[in-house]
Amino acid sequence: MVMRRKVLGSTAAAAAGGFAAAASTFPKPAIAQSAPEIKWRCTSSFPKSLETLYGASEVFAKALAEATDNRFQIQVFASGEIVPGLQAADAVTNGTVECAHTASYYYVGKDPTFTFATCLPFGLNSRMQTAWLYEGGGNQLMNEFFAKYGIHAVPLGDTGTQMGGWFRKEIKTTADLAGLKMRVGGFAGQVLAKLGVVPQQIAAGDIYPALERGTIDAAEWISPYDDERLGLNKVAPYYYYPGWWEGGPALHLFVNKAKWDGLPKAYQASLNNAAALAHATVQARYDNLNPPALKRLVAGGVQLRPFSAEIMETAYKAAGEVYAETGAKNADFKKIHDSMMAFRADQYLWWQVAEYSFDSFMIRAARATSRG
C-alpha cells in the first residue's frame, strides 16, 4: 500500500511537472503581451513650488498609472533636478529623458514656429486654443513640425489669459517701454522689441531675484495666484493687464518620438486620455485660485493697471508686422500662422454673438448687485 502511494505520488508529481512545463510553453494572452511594464522619466520646466504647473504633470502621471494598472509609470522631476527648465526640449530630443512637461514657446530660439503650440500674441483665448489644437488641426500641424526635432507633443494644461506683468514704474504710453528690460516668455519678446523693450528669457525660479536686484525692470509670469507664490508683488508695485501676448497659452507633454512610436496603441490612448484630464484640471485650478489671489494682492497695496489703448493698438500693429516678416522667410511659420488666423476669424465671429454678450451683461449685472 505504501509502495502504491509512492508510485501514485511520484506519478502525480511528474504529471504536475509536465503540466507546468507545458503551460510555460503556451503563448501568453494577447492583453498581457500588449501591456508591458514601462517606466519613464519626465522633466518639468517648472519648480515644485508652483503646484498649478508642476502639479499638472503629477495629475497626468497618476491618471496614466491608474489607467494602466500601474504598468505604465512616469516619474516626474522638477526643473533643475535633471536639466534646467529651459533645456527640457533638448533633453527629450537627445533621449536624456523620455518626456518633458514644458511650454513650447520657450524654444522659439530654435524656430519661431514653436510658439503656436503654446500661444501667439493677439492669438487665441484658452478655449479657442484648445479647440484649434484638438479640433482645428493644430495638433496635427504642430506634430508635423515637431517631428523635425524628434518630438511628439500632447497638450497638457492651459492657464487661461495671463496678466501683463509687474513693473517698477507706471507704463502709460509706448514711449515708457523704450529701453525697458523685461522678462517675457516666447515669441512675445520679438513683438515687444518692436516697441523698444529689451526682452529677457528667464526661468520661473530666477525671476524674483532678477527683479529684486534690478537686473530687469519688469517681469511677466502667469497670473495672480502663481505671481503671488513667486513674491513678485514684493519687488514691483504696478501690476498690468491683460497679457495680450498670452491669451490662452497651452502647455505640452513633449515625448521622444521614437519612444512614442514604440508604445502599444493602448498605452498611447491612455497617455492621451491622462493628458486631457490634466489639461482640463490646470485651467480649472487657475480659474478657482486666481480670483481670491487678486483680491489679496490689491488689498495688500498692489497697483492694478490696464495697458492703455495706445499701447494695445501699437502692439497689435507691431505683432502683425512681425508675423509678416517671419512668415516671409519661414514656410513652417507661415503655414501654421495661416491656419490659426483663419480659425481665429471664425471664432471671434461666434464669440461676439454668444460668449462676449453673455459675459459683458453678467459683469455689469454682478457690479450692480454688489453696489446694491
Q: Are strands 99-102 and 181-183 parallel, antiparallel or unpaired?
A: unpaired
Domain that holds residue 44: 35-158+248-287
Would you say residue 370 lies in a domain? no
| Rounded Cα gap, residues 182 and 167, in angstroms | 9
What is the pLDDT, as a whole number, of residue 371?
A: 75
Assigned C-alpha cell, 13: 508529481
> Are 179 and 39 in the same domain?
no
Tell me which residues of the chain have a pLDDT lower than 70: 1-34, 372
Please tell me the total count of domains within the chain.
Answer: 2
Would you say residue 256 lies in a domain? yes
> Are 324 and 235 in the same domain?
yes
Would you say residue 6 lies in a domain? no
What count of other Cβ atoms lies within 10 Å of the Cβ of residue 140? 11
Q: Are strands 238-241 and 38-44 parallel, antiparallel or unpaired?
A: unpaired
> Are 103 and 186 in the same domain?
no
**Exposure b/e, 307-336, CB count within 10 A at least 16 = b:** beeebbebbeebbeebbeebbeeeebbbeb
What is the pLDDT, as a whole number, of residue 1?
A: 43
Would you say residue 310 lies in a domain? yes
> Are 219 and 310 in the same domain?
yes
> Are 68 and 115 in the same domain?
yes
> Are 153 and 169 in the same domain?
no
Would you say residue 359 lies in a domain? no
Would you say residue 52 lies in a domain? yes
Would you say residue 45 lies in a domain? yes
**Exposure b/e, 42-70, CB count within 10 A at least 16 = b:** bbbbbbeebbbbbbbbbbbbbbbbebbee
What CATH number does the domain containing 75 carry? Answer: 3.40.190.170
> Are 154 and 199 in the same domain?
no
Measured CA distances, 232 to 74, 165, 185, 191, 207 (Å)? 32, 9, 16, 23, 8
Assigned C-alpha cell, 59: 495629475
* 321 backbone dihedrals φ, ψ, rounded to 5°: -65, -40
Task: Give 61-117 pLDDT, tens digit per residue.
Answer: 999 999 999 999 999 999 999 999 999 999 999 999 999 999 999 999 999 999 999
What CATH number does the domain containing 209 carry? Answer: 3.40.190.10
Residue 110, classed as helix, strand or coil, is: coil
Closest CA to 235 of 156, 331, 304, 167: 167
The partner residues of 198 in beta bridges, in order of sequence, read 181
Closest CA to 45 of 156, 179, 133: 156
CB 286 within 8 A of CB 52: yes
Task: Give 35-55 pLDDT, tens digit per residue.
Answer: 899 999 999 999 999 999 999
The DSSP secondary structure of 298-365, one letter per residue, reads HHTT-EEEEPPHHHHHHHHHHHHHHHHHHHHH-HHHHHHHHHHHHHHHHHHHHHTTTHHHHHHHHHHH
Amino acid, res. 346: D
> Are 49 and 97 in the same domain?
yes
> Are 74 and 126 in the same domain?
yes
| Rounded Cα gap, residues 219 and 166, in angstroms | 5
What is the pLDDT, as a whole number, of residue 325?
A: 97
Which residue has 522633466 as its cell numbers? Answer: 43
Instruction: Provide the Cα torsion 42, 43, 48, 54; round to 10°.
Output: -60
> Are 223 and 257 in the same domain?
no
> Are 50 and 175 in the same domain?
no
Would you say residue 55 lies in a domain? yes
CB 211 within 8 A of CB 183: yes
CB 203 within 8 A of CB 102: no
> Are 169 and 314 in the same domain?
yes
